[in-house]
Amino acid sequence: MHEDRRGDDARPIYLEITLEDPRLILSSFVTGHRGPVELEFQPTEGFGWDCAFVVVEQGPVDSVGASLVVDPTVIEADFLGSVGSDRRFRVLFGSGVRLIPPSSTEMGVRVISVRHEDGRWSIQMHLPAHSTLHRVQEHYHDNDISFRVKRLHVARDTDVGSETALLPGQREALLVAHEHGYFEVPRRSSQGELAAILGISKSGVSQRIRRAISRLIEATLSP
């Protein structure tokens, strides 16, 4: 029996949670910003998880940058450039509860995605073992942050690859585009028609499809 427990603990875990609390980093910014916000954490020497790339899909660069700077959890925000309608900033955080446990790197946690949409943060991550789950939960419990577990199971090959590589909005956009013949030759629907179905802008359709395809290629074809 003890051997079985050790075997189970050695298996990686897929975890998806949602958070919403005004004490979290960027809470002021995401409350005032219209549209999705995505964070890409790349811990750097001297800053660790206090630094992240913030990607927004809407809004003038100047106003987005100004809104980031006035967020009380932000120390500085540097604009790095745009790709289509995406605006990319390098942000250094001061106060505020971190969305990801600061010890994630040491724990071997792989962050898949961190995205704010429809009033809440959605976070996907792979944990190297079941015991790591308790350490991740402690970060939120110790800071009195409530969270909801959307998915929790032993990680599968598909979790590392295609399905969980996509954010919910990206997956929906691809499915709708496929169902309405957007990828057929000739196309049976336009971005404008997809935008009406999804209830977003044409630019939003373009960005979701482009980023979804990029994620799928990275997850399934990249070495």
Cα atoms found within 13 Å of the Cα of residue 67, Cβ hemisphere only: 19
Q: Answer yes or no: do 143 and 169 share one domain.
A: no
Residue 108 and residue 53: Cα distance in Å, rounded? Answer: 20
CB proximity list for 102: less than 8 A, separation 6 or greater: 48, 49, 139
Question: Based on the structure, what is the number of domains in the chain?
Answer: 2
Label residues 79-88 b or e (16+ Cβ within 10 Å = b): eeeeeeeebb
Residue whose C-alpha is closest to residue 79's, from 95, 104, 61, 92: 61
- Say what the pTM is: 0.71
Q: Answer yes or no: do 44 and 132 share one domain.
A: yes
Residue 186 and residue 34: Cα distance in Å, rounded? Answer: 34
Q: Answer yes or no: do 136 and 28 share one domain.
A: yes
Q: Answer yes or no: do 174 and 134 share one domain.
A: no
Among 128, 155, 182, identify where a domain stops: 155
Could you read off the pLDDT of 170-200 as tens digits, one per residue?
888 888 999 999 998 888 999 999 989 888 8
Residue 34 and residue 120: Cα distance in Å, rounded? Answer: 13
Q: Answer yes or no: do 139 and 55 share one domain.
A: yes
- Asked whether residue 63 carries a pLDDT value surpassing 50, the answer given is yes
Alpha helices in 93-167 (DSSP H): 104-107, 130-142, 157-160, 162-165
Query: For the sheet containing 51-56, what is the strand order?
Result: 74-83, 86-93, 51-56, 37-41, 110-117, 120-127, 13-19, 147-154
The enclosing domain of 205 has a CATH number of: 1.10.10
Q: Answer yes or no: do 170 and 117 share one domain.
A: no
Q: What is the mean pLDDT of the chain?
A: 84
Q: Answer yes or no: do 56 and 75 share one domain.
A: yes
Residue 111 and residue 77: Cα distance in Å, rounded? Answer: 22
What is the structure's pLDDT at 15? 92
Q: List the beta strands (DSSP E) in the chain.
A: 13-19, 37-41, 51-56, 74-83, 86-93, 110-117, 120-127, 147-154
Domain that holds residue 184: 164-220
Could you read off the pLDDT of 132-172 as tens digits, one per residue?
999 999 999 999 999 999 888 887 655 544 445 677 678 88
Q: Answer yes or no: do 139 and 182 share one domain.
A: no
Q: Answer yes or no: do 6 and 115 share one domain.
A: yes
Q: Answer yes or no: do 124 and 145 share one domain.
A: yes
Among 155, 180, 204, identify where a domain stops: 155
Determine contact, residues 91/99, Cβ cutoff 8 Å. no
Residue 56 and residue 64: Cα distance in Å, rounded? Answer: 8
Strand partners, 82: 87
196: enclosing H helix or E strand: helix 191-198
Among 113, 131, 155, identify where a domain stops: 155
Identify the residue with better confidence: 43 or 34: 34
Q: Answer yes or no: do 144 and 66 share one domain.
A: yes
Q: Answer yes or no: do 111 and 211 share one domain.
A: no
- Asked whether residue 45 carries a pLDDT value surpassing 80, the answer given is no
What is the structure's pLDDT at 220? 65
205-209-215-218 Cα dihedral, nearest 10 degrees: -150
